[in-house]
Structure formats: structure tokens, C-alpha cells
């Protein structure tokens, strides 16, 4: 009986040990997996200065497809791309570039995309001007010398999509009263995010910078309807046109809708000032 | 003959230094030569191989892709381009033929680190060993695929020491040396063969590939075994030897059929009795069916 019990204990102890060991391994591996899961979420936080190669999808999709082989880096003729090393802020082993160091030269044949074995860089991208690596933003209007009224236009001139991605907006310089500002304006429908503007910016710290698109781009609410665009598309106003208002006006006055406003029939122009400045000066009571 | 001491010493006396170390030397040559091929491009602008072990292109034409990395990509929800799929099939086919864990012992750079740790562990007589189950790697393999599937990200490659070191050597290390040191210290102090033998999910994957590998080590002259235990001492997966070497009565062996045999050939090296030999996995059935005395193949 005693012997029997002992045997029973032995079996139980063996089973207990097996279960304990299995549980221990499972819990240990579970901890590693949980940590890894949390870490990979953090690894999706791409720093603002790290730009992905052309054809890369958003960060989540990119990190499910990139196997960190570095073939895009190898086929980049300008040594623009590099692989993130342990200790960098970018997800380990993934390709990126820093525009201020070496921007993308926008090769016509896009060798980096062709080299990608998994399609993490989308092979459907065949026209480099369609690439959207990031978006240039004039981040500092206080430092950009164009906003100081000085001539620069370097970003405008180095832009590979010159005249489309960056245009110059002429504005009156009210400080000097007689000059123009040549303000660089970036257009997201043409900017590829190559970073040549950021690289070329003459400031100590660039005033125009390329950011990943999700950082650089706002999004207008879907409920907005731009009346002037809809009018253009439809060939006429879609809302009820403004009616000429009926005002209770004094005798001899009328209101001209779409014209000069309040009009006194058969009288001189509505302005109280005569075209001859001397009349105003000589008027009784003066100014 | 007196047994014990440094494993392999008897073999050197019996067979000479070269025959007692040739597979070790050949493995180191293989590991370093493959690394050299990858480095020839960036260092000498000779582009025979481009990329790294995750994926590469040989002579601008043949794609090669790590099947485990590609599996993670598939699980995480991305359908790769054909180049990667063809590359993975080529690599998979190769390892199905020569043994999955040939990757571990003939290619992987971490193997050099863990082998040195083991060598030092033996010389310094470090005995203590944390009890980490050898099946942990299978759990880890499952876990990394699960994380890839749930998160939709090739998450394991963020921390995988194997790919990290290779990529580091070819593209720039960063702080990856720290990981190399960590693996070294783990194997030296925490547990014997802790990384390659217990934890590494890459090894677990290739172990599964190796289940049906054609090239295998066989204890073809097992009746000559004098129980010196040198093969057990050097084998990184010594659980694989026993069924083949001592399984005659149970009708097992003499071919080592476990997928976890890395085909490193170190047992062939260190055996003073020349028990082991590289054969195919079919030697087992051939011997069993024909009943030929394996002794006939004594090398001249």
C-alpha cells in the first residue's frame, strides 16, 4: 500500500515537473512575445527626419513587407539610402535617408524600387515624379530669407519638379513699400519629397524641410464643399443665386446688385470726394 | 585508452590534426567565405553577391531569400514579389537537400560566437547551467509568427541577433556588437549552448526543414564505439546522437535522422574510432533491408 502510494507520488511528481517546465517555458516565451509586440508598435514611430525610399507605403504596411536585405541601398547610385542600425531611431535594418545629408536624386529608372525583392517598395511605381517619399514644408517663416524680403529662391530652383512642386508667390513688401517678396509655396500634388530643397537651403538650419507625409499633410473634413470649384465643375452655381435685394430706398436711389452698390440716380459719383483735390481743400469746414 | 579531458585530443593522436579537425576548419572557411562574398561588393566593388542573408542577388540574376523571413512577411499580411518567392524556394530546396541546420553550422556568423563560448566554457570548466528547455526555440518560433500575424509587422527582425549581426557586418554594426557580446555571455555563463541549442527560432525553423534532409551524418561503424563520449561532448545538439549510436538493439539508426543535427561534422572529426561518416538519409533503410554489415565501408 505504502509502496503503491509512493509510485503514485512518483507519477504525479513527473507529471507535475512536466507541467511546471512547460508552463515556465510558455510564460517566458509569452513575456518575450508581449514585449516584442509592444516594441514593434513603438518601432513604427518614424522620426520626422527619416524619409523612406520611393514606393514605400505607410509605415505599418512597409514594416510588414520590408525584410531588411539592403538591396535598395546597394542599387542606389548616390549612396542616399542607408539601413537603420541598432541604436538609430528608425526601425532596425529598414532603409531610409536624411534629406539634409544626402537627398534622393530621383533616378528615372528608380533602381531601388526595382531591387526590392518583396515589393515593400511598390513595383507599380514606374514614374519617379509620382513618388511621394515625403512632403516639403516651409517650416520657419521667420528664418527663411524670402520672408525677410531678400532674394533667394534656391529651393525653387533646385526642385526637380521645378515650377510645379514649389512656386513663388509674389507679395507686396509693405516694409519697404516698393519691393516684392518671393515667397516659396510647396504644392503636395507635385512634391515627391526628394529633399533637394532641404539639402540646398542656404540657412544654417534649413527653413524648408521634408517630413513624412502623415506629419506634413493636413486633411480637410469630407463635408466641406468648395463652392467655387463645384461651380467650375457644374458650369454654374449649385446654390440658389443671390437675388437683387429690394430695399426701402429714398426717392432717386437704387441698389445695383453685382455693381457699384448704392447709386443716386442722375447725380455725381457716390464718393464725397471730388476728382479735383483742391475742391476738397476749399470746401467749407475743410477736412 | 584513458578517456576524459579535452574532447578531440585522442582523435588528433589517432588520426592526425587535419583529420581530427577538418570539418571544423571547413566550416569556418565556409562561414568566412560567404561573409567575404558579401563584403567583396562594398569593400572591393566586386559584386558577386549583393544584399545580406535576408535576401540577396547572386551575379545580378539569381535571387536568394531567407524562407523564415519570407514566412514572416506572408504571415504579417503582405504578398511578396515573385523574386522573393523564387529566392526562398531555391534556399529551401538547398537546405532540404543538405540539411536545414547546415545554415546554423556552415553559414550563420553567430555560430562562431557560440562555438567560442562553448570552447571557453569547456576550458574554464564552467559547469552551472540554467535549465532552459531545448523546446523553447519551438515556442519562440511560434511566438514570433504569432506576433507577426497579430501585429502585421515583421517584428522578429527588429531584434533577431542572427540577421542583425550579418546585416551589421555587411552594412554597418551600430550597437549590434552589444548583442554579439550578450549572446556570447549567455552561452558562456547562463546555459550551455543556450542560444543555438535552446532559444534561436531561426534554428528551430531550419530544424524543421532538416526533418527530411538528404545529407545526414551516420554512425556507420557504431560497433567500433568505445564510449569515450567525445562526440557527446562536442555535439551542439547531443540528444541527436544517442538513437543513432546506441539504437542498434531497438532497430534505430545508424543514420542521425533528427532535424536538429546541424551536419557540422564535428563528431566525425573527434571520434578516434572513426565511427561517423557523412551519408544520405537512405543509408538507414538500405542497411536495414539488405542487412549488409556496415563494417564493409571501412575507409582505406
pLDDT, position A243: 63
What would the mean pLDDT of B190-213 be, rounded to a whole number?
89
Contacts of B224 (CB under 8 A, 6+ apart): B273, B274, B275
CB contact under 8 A, A85 and B173: yes
**Over the stretch B33-62, which tens digit does the pLDDT of each residue have?**
999 988 888 888 888 888 888 888 888 888
DSSP state, residue B199: I
What would the mean pLDDT of B206-215 be, rounded to a whole number?
88
Phi then psi for residue A211, to 5 deg, are -120, 155
CB contact under 8 A, B171 and A70: yes
Q: Give B176 to chain A, closest Cα distance, Å.
A: 6
pLDDT for B203 beyond 50? yes
Chain A contacts of B54, Cβ < 8 Å? 67-69, 93
CB contact under 8 A, A64 and B77: yes
- Domains of chain B (ranges, CATH numbers): 9-19+215-289 (3.30.70), 48-209 (no CATH)
pLDDT, position A100: 93
Work out the pLDDT band at B2, boundaries 50, 70, 90. Answer: very low
**Alpha carbons B138 and B203: distance in angstroms, whole number:** 9
pTM for the structure as a whole: 0.79
Contacts of B194 (CB under 8 A, 6+ apart): B130, B132, B186, B187
The rounded average pLDDT for each run of 10 residues, N- to C-terminus, in chain A (287 residues) is 51 83 88 88 86 90 90 91 88 92 93 91 91 93 92 92 91 87 92 94 94 89 86 78 68 72 68 69 63
What would the mean pLDDT of B201-224 be, rounded to a whole number?
87
Q: Which of B79, B147, B171 sits opposite A83 (nearest CB)?
A: B171
Say if CB B37 and CB B49 are below 8 A apart.
Answer: yes
Residue B86 in 3-state DSSP? helix
Q: Which of residues 195-214 of B touch A (CB under 8 A)?
A: none
Query: Within an 8 Å CB–CB cutoff, is residue B280 touching chain A?
Result: no
Q: Which of A29, A30, A88 sits opposite B174 (nearest CB)?
A: A88
pLDDT, position A208: 94
Q: Which of A24, A29, A117 sits opposite B55 (nearest CB)?
A: A117
Query: Within an 8 Å CB–CB cutoff, is residue B144 touching chain A?
Result: yes
pLDDT, position B289: 42
pLDDT, position B206: 92
pLDDT, position A207: 94
Average pLDDT, chain B: 84
Say if CB A85 and CB B168 are below 8 A apart.
Answer: yes
Beta-carbon-side half-sphere exposure of residue B216 (alpha carbons within 13 Å) = 26
What would the mean pLDDT of B284-293 be, rounded to a whole number?
48
What would the mean pLDDT of B243-254 be, rounded to a whole number?
77
Report how far Cα A54 is from the mean position of its chain's Cα atoms: 15
pLDDT, position B274: 85
**Over the stretch B90-99, which tens digit does the pLDDT of each residue have?**
999 999 888 8
Residue A37 in 3-state DSSP? helix
- Of residues B190, B273, B203, the one with CA closest to residue B231: B273
- Rounded to whole angstroms, what are the CA distances from B175 to A87, A89, B178? 6, 12, 6
Chain B contacts of A41, Cβ < 8 Å? 151
Q: Give A182 to chain B, closest Cα distance, Å.
A: 43
Phi then psi for residue B85, to 5 deg, are -70, -45
pLDDT, position B255: 84
Choice between A205 and B82, residue whose per-residue pLDDT is larger: A205
Amino acid at each position: 500500500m505504502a509502496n503503491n502510494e509512493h509510485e503514485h507520488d512518483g507519477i504525479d511528481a513527473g507529471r507535475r515537473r512536466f507541467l511546471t517546465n512547460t508552463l515556465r517555458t510558455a510564460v517566458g516565451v509569452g513575456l518575450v512575445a508581449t514585449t516584442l509586440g509592444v516594441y514593434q508598435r513603438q518601432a513604427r514611430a518614424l522620426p520626422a527626419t527619416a524619409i523612406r525610399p520611393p514606393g514605400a507605403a505607410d509605415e505599418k504596411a512597409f514594416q510588414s513587407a520590408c525584410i531588411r536585405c539592403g538591396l535598395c541601398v546597394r542599387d542606389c547610385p548616390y549612396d542616399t539610402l542607408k539601413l537603420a542600425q541598432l541604436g538609430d531611431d528608425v526601425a532596425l535594418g529598414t532603409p531610409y535617408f536624411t534629406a539634409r545629408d544626402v537627398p534622393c536624386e530621383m533616378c528615372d529608372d528608380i533602381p531601388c524600387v526595382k531591387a526590392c525583392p518583396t515589393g515593400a517598395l511598390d513595383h507599380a511605381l514606374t514614374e519617379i515624379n509620382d513618388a511621394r517619399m515625403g512632403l516639403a514644408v516651409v517650416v520657419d517663416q521667420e528664418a527663411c530669407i524670402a520672408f525677410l524680403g531678400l532674394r533667394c529662391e534656391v529651393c525653387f530652383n533646385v526642385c526637380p519638379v521645378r515650377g510645379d512642386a514649389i512656386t513663388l508667390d509674389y507679395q507686396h513688401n509693405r516694409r519697404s513699400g516698393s519691393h516684392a517678396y518671393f515667397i516659396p509655396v510647396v504644392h503636395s500634388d507635385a512634391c515627391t519629397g526628394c529633399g533637394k530643397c532641404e539639402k540646398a537651403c542656404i540657412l544654417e538650419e534649413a527653413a524648408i524641410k521634408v517630413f513624412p507625409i502623415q506629419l506634413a499633410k493636413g486633411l480637410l473634413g469630407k463635408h466641406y464643399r468648395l463652392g467655387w470649384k463645384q461651380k467650375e465643375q457644374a458650369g454654374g452655381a449649385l446654390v440658389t443665386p443671390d437675388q437683387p435685394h429690394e430695399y426701402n430706398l429714398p426717392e432717386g436711389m437704387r441698389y445695383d446688385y453685382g455693381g457699384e452698390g448704392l447709386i443716386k440716380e442722375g447725380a455725381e459719383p457716390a464718393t464725397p470726394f471730388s476728382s479735383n483735390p483742391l475742391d476738397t481743400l476749399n470746401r467749407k469746414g475743410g477736412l | 585508452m584513458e578517456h576524459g579531458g579535452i574532447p578531440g585530443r585522442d582523435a588528433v593522436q589517432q588520426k592526425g590534426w587535419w583529420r581530427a579537425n577538418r570539418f571544423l576548419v571547413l566550416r569556418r572557411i565556409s562561414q568566412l567565405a560567404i561573409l567575404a562574398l558579401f563584403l567583396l561588393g562594398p569593400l572591393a566593388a566586386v559584386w558577386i553577391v549583393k544584399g545580406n542573408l535576408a535576401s540577396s542577388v547572386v551575379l545580378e540574376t539569381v535571387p536568394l531569400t531567407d524562407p523564415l523571413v519570407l514566412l514572416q512577411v506572408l504571415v504579417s499580411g503582405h504578398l511578396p514579389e515573385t523574386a522573393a518567392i523564387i529566392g526562398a524556394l531555391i534556399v529551401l530546396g538547398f537546405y532540404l537537400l543538405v540539411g536545414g541546420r547546415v545554415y546554423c553550422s556552415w553559414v550563420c556568423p553567430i555560430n562562431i560566437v557560440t562555438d567560442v563560448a562553448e570552447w571557453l566554457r569547456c576550458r574554464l570548466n564552467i559547469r552551472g547551467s540554467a535549465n532552459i528547455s531545448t523546446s523553447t526555440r519551438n515556442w519562440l518560433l511560434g511566438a514570433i509568427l504569432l506576433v507577426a500575424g497579430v501585429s502585421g509587422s515583421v517584428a522578429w527582425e527588429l531584434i533577431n541577433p542572427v540577421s542583425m549581426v550579418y546585416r551589421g557586418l555587411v552594412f554597418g554594426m551600430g550597437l549590434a556588437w552589444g548583442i554579439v557580446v550578450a549572446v556570447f555571455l549567455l552561452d558562456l555563463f547562463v546555459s550551455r549552448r543556450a542560444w543555438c541549442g535552446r532559444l534561436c527560432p531561426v534554428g528551430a525553423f531550419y530544424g524543421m526543414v532538416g526533418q527530411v534532409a538528404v545529407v545526414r551524418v551516420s554512425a556507420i561503424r557504431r560497433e567500433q564505439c568505445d564510449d569515450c563520449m567525445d562526440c557527446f561532448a562536442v555535439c551542439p545538439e547531443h540528444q541527436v546522437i544517442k538513437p543513432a549510436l546506441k539504437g542498434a538493439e531497438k532497430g534505430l539508426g545508424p543514420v542521425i535522422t533528427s532535424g536538429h543535427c546541424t551536419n557540422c561534422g564535428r563528431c566525425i572529426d573527434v571520434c578516434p574510432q572513426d565511427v561517423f561518416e557523412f551519408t544520405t538519409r537512405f543509408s538507414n533503410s538500405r542497411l536495414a533491408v539488405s542487412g549488409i554489415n556496415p563494417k564493409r565501408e571501412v575507409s582505406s
